[in-house]
Amino acid sequence: MAILSIANLVLSIGDRVLLNGANLTLDANEHVAMVGRNGTGKSTFLRVITGDAEAQAHVVGGHVQLQRGSTVGYLPQDPDLVEAHTLRDEAAGAFVELTKLHDRLHSVSQRMTDAAGVELDKLMRQYERLEHDVESGGGYAIDHRIDATLHGLGLTDDLFGVKVADLSGGQRGRLALAKLLLAEPDLLLLDEPTNHLDIAGRQWLEQFLEQYRGAVIIVSHDRWLLNRVASRIYELEAGRFINYPGNYSQYRQLRAERSLAQHRAHGKQQQAIKREQQFIERYRAGQRARQARGREKRLQRYIRDEMVDRPVELDEVNIKMNPIERSGDIVARADQLSKSYGDRRLFDSVNLIIRRGDRIGIIGPNGAGKSTLARCLIGRDFASSGVARLGARVNVGWYRQSHEHLSLDQSVVQYLQQYVCNGTDQQARDLAGAFLFSGPDQDRPLGELSGGERSRAVLAGLIAGGHNLLVLDEPTNHLDIPSVERLEEALRRGATSQAEKEGRITTLILITHDRMLLNDLVDQLL
């Protein structure tokens, strides 16, 4: 039975139409994912389902129907928490109704000690009903569930007494997720639930969702998670949901087949349009002018109502990394490298050799020192002891998680011109197009871009920048799935044949929690 039905939903913000006749049906225990480019309206759609007044105001047509009596839980990207609570008290807020039942049960128990006769019988029956409700709501095991969920998401005992106001952004995000999972609503709406999770936290979340008995809609760019959890993918495209049965890998295959079919249909339509236009031009004047005018009107209706757009996915990433020079055989090395901040030791006595062409992934829990280690290796941070050295002729391209180094008044094309071979406008536009900047977006200032768009521009410049060592620190954090796929494809293509022949190949150091990116790109894990 369907817990959620969406029919012909039209959603617009100002003149911008996000959804235009979207349809979706979700069964009571179904787990589905929603994917699509950033800014297409996925988060707004989730808020519409929750009944959020601000989002509902943008609904122009159609309807959203929830199964009567069902509960909905929503994880926004910016959670709303009570800052005066401790972390554990805020997590326990998921059981506020159960806590009230416990209080009532205790109150009835107290009254029973002084009651007798008919009043005692009445209180005993009330106690039995309350005890049944307590057991149905989770009984007396909630403390264990709270602790297990917080631990699973990487929130340790030493944080339990910390005020929410004093938590980091990542800790607050994990707390909000824990609180929502503990509540176990009938319909769970998760908007980028892995944003603040390390690999261990993501694995725990996958196991939780695999066993979750309610319905789930996940918006996420974590492709590994979608492979494990989703049985259906809805792609938001041109204001509609395209339904793909199966997990992410099956979706990718089916989408490629659909794109190829669209491409062929688009080609046939273009040929038919060209033939019609030739006829119209040839007979616009003369005895067959009336017939030509009629065919022109039909052609205009056809173009307006039946045209198939050429799918973007078929545009190839014709970019291969082309390092300016060959690095030495040893790209970087560390001897007895250690780093501490006061009493906190991040790493100690690290010995490491990175050779030309190595593709190394650095993994570990949040706060373990992954970024610090990479910065020490490339000379952007000082070690507490030991030595780190770069090899001969190493040209470093470093993607950092913040972008303070950018000139925000530059357009995308102006920014990328410094990285293409001859610095021409057309080459910069080709590079921008390969990383999904099209039309007017290529001329937008970097300061007007979203975090994901800015990340794409920086990554495009690094890929094309001629570096023989790339250090990428969480490069996919703000990217949607199409952008991650573009980055992965560009990195996988490697160097040009001439560069490879001359030994000009790129060494890669990748810091990420994106397991599919690690699986597809690296050959060693640190």
- Token pair recorded at residue 478: 């703000």
Please name the residue ranges forming H helices in 10-116: 42-50, 53-56, 87-92, 96-112
Q: Which of 492, 490, 484, 489 is nearest to 512 (CA)?
A: 484
Give the C-alpha separation, 462 to 459, whole Å.
5
Residues 6 or more apart whose Cβ sits within 8 Å of residue 97? 137
Block residue for tokens 């109150």? 107
> What's phi and psi for 472, nearest 5 deg?
-110, 115
pTM comes to 0.83
- Write the Ramachandran bin of 175: left for phi over 0, alpha for psi from -120 to 50, otherwise beta: alpha
DSSP labels for 196-237? T--HHHHHHHHHHHHH--SEEEEE---HHHHHHH-SEEEEEE
| 3-class secondary structure, 399 | strand
Measured CA distances, 507 to 14, 313, 321, 354 (Å): 47, 28, 11, 8
pLDDT of residue 110: 75
Give the C-alpha separation, 216 to 138, whole Å.
21
Residue 281 neighbours by CB distance under 10 Å: 11
Residue 453 neighbours by CB distance under 10 Å: 23
Give the C-alpha separation, 508 to 358, whole Å.
6
Give the C-alpha separation, 153 to 158, whole Å.
14
pLDDT of residue 139: 58
Q: In the sheet that 469-473 helps form, which strands lie side by side, from edge to edge?
A: 396-399, 469-473, 507-511, 359-362, 524-525
pLDDT tens over the chain, length 526 residues: 799 999 999 999 888 899 999 999 999 999 999 999 888 899 999 999 999 999 999 999 999 999 998 999 999 877 889 999 999 989 988 776 666 666 676 676 777 777 777 777 777 777 677 666 656 655 566 888 899 999 999 999 999 999 999 998 889 999 999 999 998 899 999 999 998 899 999 999 999 999 999 999 999 999 999 999 999 999 998 889 999 999 999 999 999 898 888 888 888 888 888 888 888 888 888 778 888 888 888 888 888 877 776 665 545 556 778 899 999 999 999 999 999 999 899 999 999 999 999 999 999 988 899 999 999 999 999 999 999 999 999 999 999 888 878 888 999 999 999 998 777 889 899 899 888 888 889 999 999 988 889 999 999 999 999 999 999 999 998 888 988 998 998 898 877 778 888 889 999 999 999 999 999 999 999 9
pLDDT of residue 141: 67
Q: In the sheet that 215-219 helps form, which strands lie side by side, from edge to edge?
A: 72-75, 187-191, 215-219, 31-35, 232-237, 240-245
